[in-house]
Protein backbone atom coordinates (compact mmCIF):
# COMPACT_ATOMS: atom_id res chain seq x y z
CA UNK A 1 0.00 0.00 0.00
CA UNK A 2 1.34 3.42 -0.92
CA UNK A 3 0.93 6.44 1.32
CA UNK A 4 1.40 10.19 1.07
CA UNK A 5 5.07 10.45 1.99
CA UNK A 6 5.06 14.24 2.16
CA UNK A 7 2.08 14.19 4.51
CA UNK A 8 3.78 11.60 6.70
CA UNK A 9 6.99 13.62 6.83
CA UNK A 10 5.08 16.80 7.74
CA UNK A 11 3.20 15.10 10.58
CA UNK A 12 6.38 13.51 11.90
CA UNK A 13 8.23 16.82 11.94
CA UNK A 14 5.28 18.61 13.54
CA UNK A 15 5.60 16.20 16.45
CA UNK A 16 9.36 16.75 16.61
CA UNK A 17 10.14 13.13 15.76
CA UNK A 18 13.12 11.80 13.89
CA UNK A 19 12.72 8.76 11.66
CA UNK A 20 14.50 6.76 14.35
CA UNK A 21 12.04 7.95 17.02
CA UNK A 22 9.03 7.08 14.88
CA UNK A 23 10.57 3.69 14.22
CA UNK A 24 10.95 3.05 17.96
CA UNK A 25 7.34 4.05 18.66
CA UNK A 26 6.00 1.83 15.89
CA UNK A 27 8.50 -1.02 16.38
CA UNK A 28 9.36 -0.66 12.68
CA UNK A 29 12.88 -0.26 11.34
CA UNK A 30 14.12 3.06 10.01
CA UNK A 31 14.19 1.70 6.47
CA UNK A 32 10.43 1.10 6.57
CA UNK A 33 9.86 4.69 7.68
CA UNK A 34 12.12 5.92 4.88
CA UNK A 35 10.26 3.82 2.30
CA UNK A 36 6.95 5.18 3.54
CA UNK A 37 8.14 8.78 3.27
CA UNK A 38 9.42 8.06 -0.23
CA UNK A 39 5.96 6.85 -1.25
CA UNK A 40 7.04 3.23 -1.66
CA UNK A 41 4.80 0.27 -0.87
CA UNK A 42 4.42 -0.75 2.78
CA UNK A 43 2.04 -3.20 4.44
CA UNK A 44 -1.31 -2.06 5.81
CA UNK A 45 -0.15 -3.25 9.23
CA UNK A 46 2.88 -0.93 9.09
CA UNK A 47 0.64 1.94 8.02
CA UNK A 48 -1.69 1.29 10.96
CA UNK A 49 1.21 1.40 13.44
CA UNK A 50 2.57 4.62 11.90
CA UNK A 51 -0.85 6.30 11.97
CA UNK A 52 -1.36 5.31 15.60
CA UNK A 53 2.01 6.76 16.62
CA UNK A 54 1.16 10.03 14.85
CA UNK A 55 -2.38 10.00 16.32
CA UNK A 56 -4.18 10.22 12.98
CA UNK A 57 -6.50 7.91 11.05
CA UNK A 58 -4.70 5.59 8.62
CA UNK A 59 -6.86 7.05 5.88
CA UNK A 60 -5.18 10.44 6.43
CA UNK A 61 -1.87 8.97 5.25
CA UNK A 62 -3.05 7.13 2.17
CA UNK A 63 -1.60 8.18 -1.16
CA UNK A 64 -4.02 9.34 -3.82
CA UNK A 65 -2.47 7.18 -6.50
CA UNK A 66 -3.62 3.64 -7.09
CA UNK A 67 -1.50 1.00 -5.40
CA UNK A 68 0.64 -0.97 -7.81
CA UNK A 69 1.11 -4.65 -6.99
CA UNK A 70 4.66 -5.55 -8.07
CA UNK A 71 5.32 -8.71 -10.12
CA UNK A 72 1.71 -9.82 -9.81
CA UNK A 73 2.00 -10.37 -6.05
CA UNK A 74 -1.31 -10.58 -4.15
CA UNK A 75 -2.38 -7.54 -2.13
CA UNK A 76 -1.58 -7.45 1.59
CA UNK A 77 -5.29 -7.50 2.42
CA UNK A 78 -8.01 -9.03 0.27
CA UNK A 79 -11.09 -8.48 2.45
CA UNK A 80 -13.04 -5.34 1.68
CA UNK A 81 -13.34 -2.92 4.59
CA UNK A 82 -10.70 -4.61 6.77
CA UNK A 83 -9.48 -2.47 9.68
CA UNK A 84 -6.16 -3.09 11.43
CA UNK A 85 -6.22 -2.87 15.23
CA UNK A 86 -2.89 -2.17 16.95
CA UNK A 87 -1.97 -2.46 20.65
CA UNK A 88 -2.70 0.60 22.78
CA UNK A 89 0.18 1.64 25.03
CA UNK A 90 -0.92 5.09 26.23
CA UNK A 91 -3.99 6.06 28.20
CA UNK A 92 -4.20 9.46 26.52
CA UNK A 93 -4.37 7.85 23.07
CA UNK A 94 -7.12 5.47 24.17
CA UNK A 95 -9.25 8.07 25.94
CA UNK A 96 -8.85 10.85 23.38
CA UNK A 97 -9.60 8.57 20.44
CA UNK A 98 -12.77 7.29 22.08
CA UNK A 99 -13.84 10.79 23.13
CA UNK A 100 -13.66 11.95 19.50
CA UNK A 101 -15.40 8.86 18.07
CA UNK A 102 -18.94 8.90 16.72
CA UNK A 103 -19.55 5.18 17.21
CA UNK A 104 -17.50 2.67 19.17
CA UNK A 105 -17.67 -1.08 19.59
CA UNK A 106 -15.94 -2.97 22.40
CA UNK A 107 -15.12 -6.68 22.33
CA UNK A 108 -13.85 -8.64 25.32
CA UNK A 109 -12.11 -11.79 24.13
CA UNK A 110 -9.82 -12.36 27.10
CA UNK A 111 -11.05 -15.15 29.35
CA UNK A 112 -11.99 -13.68 32.75
CA UNK A 113 -10.40 -15.28 35.79
CA UNK A 114 -10.24 -14.47 39.48
CA UNK A 115 -6.79 -12.98 38.87
CA UNK A 116 -7.73 -10.62 36.02
CA UNK A 117 -11.41 -9.89 36.66
CA UNK A 118 -10.88 -6.64 38.55
CA UNK A 119 -8.61 -5.31 35.78
CA UNK A 120 -11.08 -6.31 33.06
CA UNK A 121 -13.83 -4.53 34.97
CA UNK A 122 -11.68 -1.42 35.25
CA UNK A 123 -10.84 -1.30 31.55
CA UNK A 124 -14.52 -1.79 30.71
CA UNK A 125 -15.37 1.18 32.94
CA UNK A 126 -12.68 3.27 31.24
CA UNK A 127 -13.92 2.45 27.75
CA UNK A 128 -17.53 3.24 28.55
CA UNK A 129 -16.63 6.45 30.38
CA UNK A 130 -14.38 7.70 27.58
CA UNK A 131 -16.92 7.24 24.78
CA UNK A 132 -20.02 9.43 24.58
CA UNK A 133 -22.86 7.62 22.80
CA UNK A 134 -24.47 10.02 20.30
CA UNK A 135 -27.82 8.26 20.78
CA UNK A 136 -28.01 9.05 24.49
CA UNK A 137 -30.33 12.01 25.14
CA UNK A 138 -28.87 15.00 26.99
CA UNK A 139 -31.01 14.18 30.03
CA UNK A 140 -29.13 10.90 30.54
CA UNK A 141 -25.69 12.49 30.38
CA UNK A 142 -23.83 13.93 33.31
CA UNK A 143 -22.58 16.93 31.35
CA UNK A 144 -19.35 17.48 29.51
CA UNK A 145 -16.30 15.97 31.13
CA UNK A 146 -13.89 18.51 32.52
CA UNK A 147 -10.21 18.48 31.62
CA UNK A 148 -9.44 17.22 35.11
CA UNK A 149 -11.85 14.30 34.73
CA UNK A 150 -10.31 13.33 31.39
CA UNK A 151 -6.82 13.47 32.89
CA UNK A 152 -7.91 11.20 35.74
CA UNK A 153 -9.38 8.78 33.19
CA UNK A 154 -6.15 8.81 31.19
CA UNK A 155 -4.10 8.22 34.33
CA UNK A 156 -6.33 5.30 35.29
CA UNK A 157 -5.88 3.81 31.82
CA UNK A 158 -2.10 4.23 32.11
CA UNK A 159 -2.22 2.17 35.29
CA UNK A 160 -4.53 -0.55 33.98
CA UNK A 161 -2.96 -1.07 30.52
CA UNK A 162 0.46 -2.33 31.76
CA UNK A 163 -1.22 -4.33 34.54
CA UNK A 164 -3.30 -6.14 31.92
CA UNK A 165 -0.17 -6.71 29.85
CA UNK A 166 1.40 -8.42 32.86
CA UNK A 167 -1.55 -10.83 32.70
CA UNK A 168 -0.99 -11.43 28.97
CA UNK A 169 -3.89 -9.20 27.93
CA UNK A 170 -3.67 -6.26 25.55
CA UNK A 171 -6.06 -3.61 24.28
CA UNK A 172 -6.17 -3.41 20.48
CA UNK A 173 -7.70 -0.36 18.79
CA UNK A 174 -8.41 0.68 15.21
CA UNK A 175 -10.28 3.57 13.60
CA UNK A 176 -12.14 3.96 10.33
CA UNK A 177 -14.40 6.53 8.66
CA UNK A 178 -18.02 6.25 7.60
CA UNK A 179 -20.83 8.51 6.45
CA UNK A 180 -23.55 8.77 9.09
CA UNK A 181 -26.55 10.91 9.93
CA UNK A 182 -26.17 12.89 13.13
CA UNK A 183 -29.02 12.20 15.59
CA UNK A 184 -30.89 15.16 17.05
CA UNK A 185 -32.79 15.55 20.30
CA UNK A 186 -36.60 15.78 20.27
CA UNK A 187 -37.39 17.92 23.32
CA UNK A 188 -41.09 16.95 23.25
CA UNK A 189 -40.56 13.19 22.97
CA UNK A 190 -37.38 13.15 25.04
CA UNK A 191 -35.33 10.97 22.70
CA UNK A 192 -32.82 11.19 19.87
CA UNK A 193 -33.93 10.71 16.26
CA UNK A 194 -32.89 10.87 12.62
CA UNK A 195 -34.95 11.30 9.45
CA UNK A 196 -34.68 10.00 5.91
CA UNK A 197 -33.08 12.51 3.63
CA UNK A 198 -30.85 14.11 6.23
CA UNK A 199 -27.31 14.59 4.91
CA UNK A 200 -24.64 12.15 5.96
CA UNK A 201 -21.44 13.44 7.49
CA UNK A 202 -18.04 11.80 7.60
CA UNK A 203 -17.35 10.55 11.12
CA UNK A 204 -14.66 8.54 12.87
CA UNK A 205 -15.58 5.19 14.41
CA UNK A 206 -13.50 3.04 16.75
CA UNK A 207 -13.22 -0.70 17.33
CA UNK A 208 -11.55 -1.86 20.56
CA UNK A 209 -10.76 -5.48 21.38
CA UNK A 210 -9.48 -6.64 24.77
CA UNK A 211 -7.66 -9.83 23.87
CA UNK A 212 -5.21 -12.37 25.24
CA UNK A 213 -4.08 -13.40 21.74
CA UNK A 214 -0.29 -13.29 21.45
CA UNK A 215 -0.29 -11.43 18.12
CA UNK A 216 1.12 -8.13 16.91
CA UNK A 217 -2.20 -6.84 15.61
CA UNK A 218 -5.80 -7.84 14.94
CA UNK A 219 -8.10 -7.22 11.99
CA UNK A 220 -11.83 -6.66 11.88
CA UNK A 221 -14.43 -5.81 9.23
CA UNK A 222 -16.93 -3.26 10.61
CA UNK A 223 -20.59 -4.11 10.16
CA UNK A 224 -21.28 -0.69 8.65
CA UNK A 225 -18.70 -1.02 5.89
CA UNK A 226 -21.38 -0.92 3.22
CA UNK A 227 -22.15 2.66 4.28
CA UNK A 228 -18.60 3.83 3.83
CA UNK A 229 -17.66 6.15 1.04
CA UNK A 230 -14.12 4.84 1.24
CA UNK A 231 -12.46 2.40 3.62
CA UNK A 232 -8.74 1.98 3.12
CA UNK A 233 -8.44 -1.32 4.98
- For 214-228, how does the pLDDT look when each residue is reduced to its tens digit (9 = 90+)? 888 999 988 764 343
- For range 155-175, the mean pLDDT: 97
Which domains are delineated in the chain? 5-67 (1.10.260.40), 83-227 (no CATH)
* HSE value, Cβ hemisphere, 13 Å, CA-based, for 175: 26
Whether residue 45 is predicted with pLDDT greater than 70 in this model: the reply is yes
Dihedral sign from CA coordinates of 109, 170, 124, 114: positive
Whole-prediction pTM value?
0.73
1 pLDDT band, cuts 50/70/90, is low
Whether residue 142 is predicted with pLDDT greater than 70 in this model: the reply is no
Task: Return the pLDDT at 65.
Answer: 47
Rounded distance, CA 227 to CA 224, Å? 6
- For range 176-189, the mean pLDDT: 87
Residue 167's nearest CA partner among 211, 208, 215, 127 is: 211
The two most distant CA atoms of the chain are separated, in Å, by 63
76 pLDDT band, cuts 50/70/90, is very low
Cα 122 to Cα 9, 63, 145: the distances in Å are: 37, 39, 18
Amino acid sequence: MTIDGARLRTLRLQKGMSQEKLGLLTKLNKRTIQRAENGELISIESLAFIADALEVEPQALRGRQQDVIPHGAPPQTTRQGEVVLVPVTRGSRLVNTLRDAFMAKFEYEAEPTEDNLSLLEEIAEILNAAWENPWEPPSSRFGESTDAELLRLQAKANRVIPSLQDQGIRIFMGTYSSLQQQPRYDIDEGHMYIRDGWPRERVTNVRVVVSDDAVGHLTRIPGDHEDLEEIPF
